[in-house]
C-alpha cells in the first residue's frame, strides 16, 4: 500500500488587502518576470494573479476617463409647508405650447448615445427633457428617477 494522507481540517480561504494585491500585480508586471514565477514563489494561484491584474487594468482605464457633467435641471422647493421638490428642465420650454403626445413605453424612448463613452444612452422624455446615462448607471436608481418623473411604470 502506498502513502496515505489524512486531511484533518479544511484550509480557510486567504484574503489579501488591496495593497498586497497591488504589490503582487506590480511584481508580476515587471519586465522579465512571469506570472508563473511569482505564483510559485508566493504560493498564490496563477489565475488569481491574472484576475487581479485584469481588475487593476480595468480600474486604471475607468479612473483615466474624464468626468462628464450633464446638466439635467434645477431642483426648486415648490412649497415650504410640505416636504418635496420639483424638477425644472435645464433648457427653457418652447414658447408655443404643443399638445403632449401620448406616453410611450420607456423602451421606445431609449436610443444609443452618440458620445464617446461605451454603453451611453440618451432618454428623451415626452416633456422635452433628456436624461443621459452610461453603462455604469445603477438600474434601480434610474428606474426610481423615471418613476418620480412619471415616465415609467
Residue 4 has pLDDT above 70, yes or no: yes
Could you tell me how many residues make up the chain? 153
Mean local confidence (pLDDT), 47-53 = 94
What pLDDT does residue 87 have? 53
Torsion from C-alpha of 22, 27, 32, 38, nearest 10 degrees = -110
List, for residues 115-145, the tens digit of each pLDDT value: 556 667 777 777 777 888 887 788 888 888 8
pLDDT at res. 131: 81
- Grade residue 27 by pLDDT with cuts at 50, 70 and 90: very high
pLDDT of residue 84: 47
Distances in Å between the Cα of 153 and the Cα atoms of 12, 26, 96, 149 are: 46, 49, 29, 11
User: What is the rounded average pLDDT for all residues in the chain?
Assistant: 74
Q: Which has the closest alpha carbon to 133: 89, 88, 70, 61? A: 70
Q: Is the pLDDT of residue 58 over 60?
A: yes
* pLDDT tens digits for range 29-47: 999 999 999 999 999 999 9
Mean pLDDT of 83-98: 53
Longest dimension (CA), the chain: 95
pLDDT at 135: 76
- What pLDDT is attached to residue 42? 92
Amino acid at each position: 500500500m502506498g502513502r496515505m494522507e489524512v486531511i484533518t481540517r479544511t484550509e480557510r480561504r486567504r484574503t489579501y488587502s488591496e495593497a498586497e494585491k497591488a504589490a503582487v500585480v506590480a511584481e508580476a508586471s515587471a519586465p522579465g518576470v512571469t506570472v508563473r514565477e511569482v505564483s510559485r514563489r508566493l504560493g498564490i494561484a496563477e489565475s488569481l494573479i491574472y484576475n487581479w491584474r485584469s481588475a487593476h487594468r480595468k480600474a486604471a482605464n475607468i479612473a483615466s476617463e474624464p468626468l462628464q457633467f450633464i446638466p439635467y435641471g434645477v431642483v426648486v422647493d415648490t412649497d415650504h409647508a410640505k416636504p418635496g421638490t420639483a424638477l425644472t428642465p435645464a433648457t427653457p420650454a418652447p414658447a408655443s405650447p404643443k399638445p403632449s403626445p401620448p406616453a410611450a413605453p420607456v423602451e421606445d424612448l431609449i436610443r444609443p448615445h452618440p458620445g464617446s463613452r461605451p454603453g451611453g444612452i440618451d432618454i428623451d422624455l415626452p416633456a422635452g427633457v433628456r436624461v443621459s446615462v452610461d453603462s455604469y448607471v445603477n438600474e434601480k436608481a434610474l428606474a426610481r428617477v423615471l418613476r418620480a418623473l412619471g415616465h415609467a411604470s
